[in-house]
């Protein structure tokens, strides 16, 4: 019953965090051993550290279709997202408005909603509703701010738009590239087109944290001012990441006090982290075409295996009509299994060695209802049985097959207990 | 020649408090295979209780100190449906509900028990101060060893079928011993204060604010026992039988108490302390654990109240007090004991027009 270390692990939670790649480990150790100095210094050791940092910057830039000077190293995706949204709002003043989709990661969603911004809906595939986006950009009206602790806030907060209901200037438009829960891929170029036409002054941001394994982020984000990427989704250490900030784009920095990263992000640069991130990102980028092909087969085998074993009670969350999965990232299988409770299912899977997750974990560790599935119109009772299996560079076909067995058996057990 | 049985698996509900931490430790010592779980029940503001992230952290920490697994189950929807929503609806109907009783009935000893079984656990344990005893008639709930901390009142609904799947290790000793044991084991929860009051209502926010967000608060007429109006109140829903404060200025001399709240006609009847006394209390939902007991028993009508001698009609229609007794607010749990063993329970019923 309890999850044991001895049970062979089937790791299907790459979208939460992907195991360290050997190349990243080597790069980290090498840089950490070699570069003991602070790269902002002027002596030889500092200059060498600086060179290593710059090399990492170049490598990352070439993977993301950016110039080296456009790469700002951060502590990861959440910082990059916060920096993009809050930094863009910060330079535009109190009447600035942020517009994003309802299915963003909370690192984008919270800064947007807290500042009184606008969220636009998605369709049942989890893809942004371009018409709704266009409407929001045409008439950028700040909604009444969300109620805080059950109280209705009558006036906009000090850092929000001057008054709710008034037209406000859009400072930033943000769209997630690949959804972290469902794997839904947004049409980034169409979003950019709409934003450029209807809100030409706005900065364009994409949270590409989940995307780099699955799509050509460099090509897809050509028109974007700001792009967030994190290390630990591609097999680099947690605590590494970047925000691409195109030349000439002005952001209010989150962290000041040292002028590092061209004044855009203060703090002693993490040379070893940057080197490891660059190594992992390069490998992931080089292998992307092959691993997309390989993992799509495994992912589809997983889903189809579950449908074969459990019937049509298994639906792909982002393809509810059973249609194609072309709009879903190759390595993500988010399924809703009717009649089971995710929490109970995850417990049994854990005991069987399968590490997976449901919608999203809240800070207490409990499973909270998914805002993403809700925005897609998945009924709450069905969303309660959601399961996210995310594959990655370590996943084997044997693991995928064993996962089908473990999941099916666990679901059938829970059937005897009303789903757990 | 008994077959070698496998170690029993126990899921311990760990609130992040001292009692459940020590309960887990005792079961571990007793050789059970255990895992801890904290239930996330309430997403809104809370003083303490079982829901805040820091309580979950404390429970996780205690579990880690004991070297056991810790999980978190989100039963928020169940809690809303079975505890919070009825709590508000009961107030709207003029009742004085007991949400802890409903949480025990529907969440801890139904939903959690069910989940535990589904996940392959043989038993569930909690840190409640009460005991499970085997009698000739089967398993029964008994008051905890620490009578001052006894929680059998809020667990009175637990019948033999649930008790057979339940362990209450904290109830075997006094609270003081529990705390001492936690200190000796170096558990992080050793010095945590006892949780108080309704876990989903904060002291800062109060019952009035909480209820006013969920139900309409209606003004009411205040009348005396002859039916003459003597005043008015702003929110009928905040009054409970036996209450003296919150009645506004009624004029006149002696203190007056709420005798009855009639939500339908929005009327509050008040009277003297003597008029608050009654000979019998009507019951609803009464359930005997076994055969009805016809003789004198002890009956308790509040969580930390003193039990009084009474008889209970075999059909569970009413409690007849041996000595006159303060009226019991409709909705409050009424629990009967023989010695210190629970033999039945229900709630005080609302009887329309009992005073008006």
What are B's interface residues with A at a Cβ cutoff of 8 A? 9, 33, 35, 38, 40, 44-45, 53, 56, 60, 69, 71-74, 77, 114-115, 117-121, 213
B43: helix, strand or coil: coil
Residue B29 covered by a domain: yes
C-beta of residue B131 within 8 angstroms of C-beta of residue B172: yes
Position B201 in a domain = no
Active site residue B199: yes
Q: What is the pLDDT of residue B150?
A: 96
Domains and CATH numbers, chain A: 10-19+290-415 (3.90.1150.10), 25-283 (3.40.640.10)
> What's the CATH code of the domain at B239?
2.30.30.280
Shared domain check, B99 and B25:
yes
| Confidence (pLDDT) at A70 | 98
| Mean pLDDT computed over every residue of chain A | 92
Contacts of A344 in chain B (CB under 8 A): 115, 118-119
- Higher per-residue confidence, B54 vs A177: A177
What digits encode the pLDDT tens for the residues A248-282? Answer: 999 999 999 989 999 999 999 999 999 999 999 99
* Percent above pLDDT 90 for chain A: 86
Residues B230, B285, single domain; the answer is no
Total structural domains within chain B: 3
> Helix (H, G, I), strand (E, B), or coil: what is residue B100?
helix
- The residue assigned the tokens 């620490």 is B146
pTM of the model: 0.90
Residues B314, B178, single domain; the answer is: no
pLDDT for A356 equals 96
Return the closest-CA partner of residue A373 out of A322, A304, A315.
A315
Residue B193 inside a domain? The answer is: no
The encoded tokens of residue A54 equal 């710059």
- Asked if residue B99 belongs to a domain, the reply is yes
Domain holding B316, by residue range, is 276-348
Nearest to A2 among B35, B38, B118 (CB): B35
Question: Is B24 a member of any domain?
Answer: yes
Which pLDDT tens digits describe chain B residue by residue (356 residues)? 455 678 999 999 998 899 999 999 999 999 999 999 999 998 776 655 445 667 888 899 999 999 999 999 999 999 999 999 999 999 999 999 999 999 999 999 999 999 999 999 999 999 999 999 999 999 999 999 999 999 999 999 999 999 999 999 999 999 999 999 999 999 888 888 877 678 888 877 889 999 999 999 999 999 999 999 999 999 999 999 999 887 876 766 788 999 999 999 999 999 999 999 999 999 999 999 999 999 999 999 999 889 999 999 999 999 999 999 999 999 999 999 999 999 999 999 998 656 64
- Which of B24, B55, B58, B118 to mutate to probe the A interface, most A CBs <10 Å? B118
Q: Which chain A residues have a beta carbon less than 8 Å from that of B60?
A: 365
pLDDT confidence of A121, banded at 50, 70, 90? very high
Whether B160 and B290 map to the same domain: the answer is no
B26 lies in the same domain as B153: yes
Domain match, B261 and B158 both:
no
Across the interface, of A364, A418, A420, the residue whose CB is closest to B119 is: A420
Q: At what angle do helices A271-310 and A397-415 cross, to 10 degrees?
A: 50
Nearest to B14 by CA among B59, B57, B51: B59
CB contact under 8 A, A344 and B69: no
State both tokens at B339: 């010695």
Question: Do B222 and B298 reside in the same domain of the chain?
Answer: no
Provide the phi-psi class of A253: left if phi over 0, else alpha when psi is between -120 and 50, else beta. Answer: beta
Residue B212 lies in a domain: no
B330 Cβ contact list (under 8 Å, min separation 6): B94, B95, B96, B241, B347, B348, B349, B350, B351
| Cβ atoms of A331 and A18 closer than 8 Å | no
Residues B251 and B288 both lie in one domain: no
Residues of A in contact with B73 (CB under 8 A): 343, 366
Rounded Cα distance between A349 and A172, Å, is 41
Are A420 and B118 an interchain contact pair (Cβ–Cβ within 8 Å)?
Answer: yes
Asked if residue B25 is part of any domain, the answer here is yes
Hey, is the C-beta of A2 within 8 angstroms of any chain B C-beta? yes
Q: Is the pLDDT of residue A155 over 80?
A: no
Nearest CA in chain A to B58: A364
Set A23, A63, A336, A362: catalytic member? A362
Looking at the structure, do residues B37 and B114 belong to the same domain, yes or no? yes
Alpha carbon distance A342, A377 (integer Å): 18
Lowest-confidence region among A313-317, A338-342, B50-54, B127-131: B50-54
Strand order in the sheet with B166-167: B69-74, B33-40, B9-13, B123-125, B166-167
Count of beta carbons in the 10 Å neighbourhood of residue A233: 28
Q: Is residue B330 part of a domain?
A: yes
β-partners of residue A72 are: A243
Of the candidates B267, B253, B286, B165, the one whose C-alpha atom is nearest the C-alpha of residue B224 is B267
Contacts of A51 by beta carbon, 8 Å cutoff, 6+ apart:
none
Is the Cβ–Cβ distance between A306 and A322 less than 8 Å? no
**B180 & B313 share domain:** no
From the centroid of its chain, how far is CA B307?
15
Within 8 A by CB and 6+ apart from B209, the residues are none
Residues B243 and B335 in one domain: no
Same domain, B113 and B34: yes
Q: Identify the three-state secondary structure at position B37.
A: strand
Q: Which candidate from B38, B44, B115 shows the least CB-CB separation from A344? A: B115
């Amino acid at each position: 019953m309890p999850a044991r270390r001895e049970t062979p692990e089937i790791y299907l939670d790459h979208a939460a965090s992907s195991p360290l790649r050997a190349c990243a480990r080597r790069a980290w150790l090498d840089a950490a051993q070699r570069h003991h100095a602070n790269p902002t210094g002027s002596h030889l050791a500092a200059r060498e550290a600086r060179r290593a940092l710059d090399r990492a910057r170049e490598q990352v830039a070439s993977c993301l279709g950016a110039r080296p000077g456009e790469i700002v190293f951060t502590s990861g995706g959440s910082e990059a997202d916060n920096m993009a949204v809050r930094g863009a709002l910060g330079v535009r003043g109190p009447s600035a408005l942020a517009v994003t989709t309802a299915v963003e990661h909370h690192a984008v969603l919270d800064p947007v909603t807290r500042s009184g911004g606008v969220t636009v809906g998605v369709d049942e595939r989890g893809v942004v509703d371009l018409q709704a986006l266009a409407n929001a950009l045409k008439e950028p009206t700040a909604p009444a701010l969300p109620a805080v602790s059950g109280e209705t806030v009558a006036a906009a907060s000090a850092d929000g738009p001057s008054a709710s209901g008034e037209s406000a200037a859009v400072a930033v438009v943000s769209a997630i590239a690949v959804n972290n829960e469902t794997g839904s891929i947004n049409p980034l170029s169409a979003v950019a087109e709409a934003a450029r036409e209807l809100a030409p002054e706005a900065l364009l941001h994409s949270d590409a944290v989940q995307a780099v394994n699955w799509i050509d982020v460099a090509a897809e984000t050509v028109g974007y001012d700001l792009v967030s990427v994190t290390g630990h989704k591609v097999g680099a250490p947690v605590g590494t990441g970047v925000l691409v900030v195109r030349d000439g784009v002005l952001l209010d920095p989150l962290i000041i006090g040292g002028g590092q990263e061209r004044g855009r992000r203060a703090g002693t640069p993490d040379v070893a982290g940057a080197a490891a991130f660059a190594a992992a990102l390069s490998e992931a980028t080089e292998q992307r075409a092959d691993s997309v092909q390989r993992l799509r087969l495994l992912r589809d085998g997983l889903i189809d295996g579950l449908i074969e074993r459990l019937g049509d009670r298994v639906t792909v969350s982002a393809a509810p009509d059973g249609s194609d999965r072309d709009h879903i990232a190759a390595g993500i299988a988010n399924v809703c299994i009717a009649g089971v409770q995710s929490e109970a299912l995850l417990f049994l899977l854990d005991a069987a060695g399968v590490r997976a997750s449901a919608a999203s974990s809240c800070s207490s560790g409990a499973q909270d209802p998914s805002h993403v599935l809700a925005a897609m119109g998945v009924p709450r009772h069905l969303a309660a049985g959601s399961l996210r299996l995310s594959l990655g560079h370590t996943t084997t076909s044997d693991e995928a097959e064993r996962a089908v067995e473990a999941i099916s058996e666990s679901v059938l057990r829970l059937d005897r207990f009303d789903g757990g | 020649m008994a077959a070698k049985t496998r170690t029993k698996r126990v899921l311990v509900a760990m609130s992040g408090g001292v009692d459940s931490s020590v309960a887990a430790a005792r079961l571990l010592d007793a050789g059970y295979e255990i895992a801890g779980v904290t239930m996330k029940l309430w997403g809104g503001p809370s003083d303490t209780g079982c829901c805040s992230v820091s309580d979950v952290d404390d429970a996780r920490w205690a579990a880690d100190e004991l070297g056991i697994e810790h999980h978190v189950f989100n039963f928020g929807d169940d809690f809303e449906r079975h505890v919070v929503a009825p709590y508000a609806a009961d107030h709207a109907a003029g009742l004085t509900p007991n949400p802890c009783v409903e949480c025990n009935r529907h969440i801890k000893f139904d939903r959690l028990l069910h989940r535990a079984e589904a996940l392959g656990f043989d038993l569930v344990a909690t840190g409640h101060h009460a005991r499970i005893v085997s009698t000739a008639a089967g398993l029964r709930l008994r008051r905890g060893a620490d009578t001052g901390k006894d929680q059998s009142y809020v667990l009175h609904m637990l019948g033999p079928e649930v008790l057979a799947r339940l362990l209450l290790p904290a109830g075997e000793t006094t609270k003081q011993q529990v705390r001492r044991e936690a200190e000796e084991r170096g558990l992080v929860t050793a010095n945590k204060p006892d949780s108080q009051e309704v876990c989903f209502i904060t002291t800062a926010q109060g019952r009035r604010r909480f209820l006013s967000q969920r139900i309409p608060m209606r003004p009411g007429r205040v009348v005396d026992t002859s039916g003459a109006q003597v005043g008015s109140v702003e929110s009928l829903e905040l009054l409970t039988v036996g209450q003296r404060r919150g009645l506004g200025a009624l004029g006149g001399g002696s203190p007056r108490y709420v005798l009855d709240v009639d939500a339908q006609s929005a009327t509050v009847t008040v009277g003297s302390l003597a008029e608050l006394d009654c000979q019998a209390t009507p019951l609803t939902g009464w359930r005997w654990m076994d055969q009805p007991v016809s003789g004198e028993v002890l009956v308790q009508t509040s969580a930390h109240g003193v039990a009084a001698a009474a008889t209970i009609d075999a059909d569970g229609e009413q409690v007849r007090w041996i000595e006159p007794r303060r009226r019991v607010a409709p909705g409050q749990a009424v629990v009967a004991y023989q010695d210190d063993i629970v033999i039945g329970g229900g709630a005080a019923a609302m009887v329309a027009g009992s005073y008006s």
